[in-house]
Amino acid sequence: MIYAEAGNKFSKLAIKDASPIVAGYFAVSFVFGLMCINQGLPVWLPTLISLVVYAGAAQFSFLALVSAEAGVLTVITTTLLINLRHMLMSVYMSEHFEKRGFSNKFKWLYGYGLTDESFAYHSVGINNDNIDQHYLTTFNLSCHLSWVMGSLFGTLTALYLNEVISFDLSYALVAMMIFVLVSLANTFEKVLVALSSIVVTVILMLLFSSYMNIFIATFIGCGVGICLKKKRS
Distance CA 100, CA 94 (A): 10
Whole-prediction pTM value?
0.71
pLDDT tens sequence across 122-162: 888 777 777 888 899 999 999 999 999 999 999 998 888 76
pLDDT tens sequence across 163-222: 555 555 556 556 656 766 776 677 788 888 888 888 988 898 888 877 677 778 878 887
When computed from its CA atoms, the radius of gyration of the chain, rounded to whole angstroms, is: 19
Share of the chain above pLDDT 90, in %: 21
Long-range interactions of 132-137: CB distance < 8 A, separation 24+: 132/6, 132/7, 132/10, 132/100, 133/102, 133/103, 133/106, 134/6, 134/7, 134/8, 134/10, 134/11, 134/14, 135/10, 135/11, 135/13, 135/14, 136/14, 136/106, 136/110, 137/14, 137/106, 137/109, 137/110
